[in-house]
Amino acid sequence: MSALRVGMVAGETSGDLLAASVLNHLDAAQTAGIGGPAMKAAGFEAWWPSEMLAVRGYVEVLKAYPKLLVLRRRLAERMSQWHPSVFVGVDAPDFNLELERRLRVAGHRTVHFIGPSIWAWRPERIERIRAAADHVLLLFPFEKAIYDRAGIAATYVGHPMADEIDLQVDPGAARDVLGLDRGRPVVAVLPGSRGSEIQYIAPVFIATMRLMARSHPDIQFVIPAATPHLHRRLQQLLSGPADSGLTAVLLDGHARDAIAASDAVLVASGTATLEVALLRKPMVIAYRMASLSYRIMRRMQMLPWIGLPNILCNASLVPEFIQDAATPQALAQALFEQLDRGRQGELADRFEALHLELRCECGHRAAQAVLEIATA
């Protein structure tokens, strides 16, 4: 019997980590495609790096579109020649759904891991999913009913981050790891993991830090950089005129330690907001993008929120500031409010319930579903 082969494509840091959580339970399989460092550490053969898919925003995607088209065509050809038992597209729906459709037409079984957020925007994608995937793996429990109504096979597997993060976190220990003063307040600042996010969001976040430090110089700010390249860009932004009273620590990675050490978090909308919630931290969510990209997204948005904690809890638990509303003055005021101890306790209870709901041994359940489809 030939060896089990699992093709896989994951874009960006979050997709790399999600895919790795599945690969860790597929020891007997040969795995290859597009992946990042976490996938490689799990034995994955990366034909191309996942950073090639790290593009967000309609304008930015249009600029990268020709290269992405060439990459998808070459990958489809190579994947078909490799003859996978099953192909798993991890997130990156604009790239993966068309790739899955082509592979499915060619006779390969296909799985999409992370159902695209059709409940938030672009509900028409349900038809693309139907054409692309034999099965969809879902991170959030409410999604199952949507796919059942559409007649698309789907399995709720939980979220791997909920499995990874302990139910109890020691902020003092995290501060010791990062060399922070236990007696002073800490604000973690997470401007995102993409170059476009640093371009549009980081300057506003750093201006917010400077504004807060003027009235409260005792606050310690900690900024984890997702990659060495982003670390250099953030360092340049921080190296402006000297700021009296601003204490800012720029880290290489260590985002989870930074969040755990904090009293409140300023975070770009995305998967990181869920990580903040699972670590029971109050937060302020903000997002900025190219003006044209924002106008297009706003017309497609179906929910009143963009942040996962608010969406999953179906309530306005934490403040959100989008585009022109995300000013240093507004963000600073909201962060000072989130630093209130009573607010921290209230949110911790809501976020603990969310943590328990999502804690389902996601990697194991997803791997089992993939194996069942591959051997059916």
Residue 59: predicted pLDDT: 44
The answer to whether the CB of 258 falls within 8 A of the CB of 290 is no
Angle, CA 194 vertex, CA 192 and CA 197 arms, to 5°: 60
Strand-pair partners of 265? 188, 283
CA distance 148 to 251: 44
Residue 65: predicted pLDDT: 67
The pLDDT confidence band at residue 1, using thresholds 50, 70 and 90, is very low
Domains 5-158+360-374 and 167-358 share a fold: yes
* pLDDT 10s digits, 26-49: 988 999 999 999 999 999 999 999
Domain 5-158+360-374 has CATH 3.40.50.2000: yes
Q: What is the largest CA-CA distance in the chain?
A: 69
The pLDDT confidence band at residue 3, using thresholds 50, 70 and 90, is confident
**Residue 364, pLDDT above cutoff 80:** yes
Question: Which positions ≥6 away from 66 have C-beta within 8 Å?
Answer: none
Residue 142: predicted pLDDT: 87
Other beta carbons less than 10 A from residue 73's beta carbon: 12
Question: Which positions ≥6 away from 285 have C-beta within 8 Å?
Answer: 267, 268, 269, 273, 306, 307, 309, 310, 318, 319, 320, 321
- Report the DSSP pairing between strands 30-35 and 283-287: unpaired
Backbone φ and ψ for 136, nearest 5 degrees, come out as -120, 135
Domain map of the chain by residue range? 5-158+360-374, 167-358
CATH number, span 167-358: 3.40.50.2000
Higher local confidence (pLDDT), 297 or 338: 338
Angle between helices 58-82 and 93-105 (to 10 degrees): 30
What's 324's DSSP letter? Answer: G
Sign of CA pseudo-dihedral 8, 368, 120, 39: negative
As a whole number, mean pLDDT of residues 219-235 equals 90
Q: How far apart are the first and last CA of the chain?
A: 15
* pLDDT 10s digits, 158-200: 998 999 999 999 999 999 999 999 999 999 999 987 777 788 8
Give me 249's structure tokens. 């620590």
Residue 120: predicted pLDDT: 56
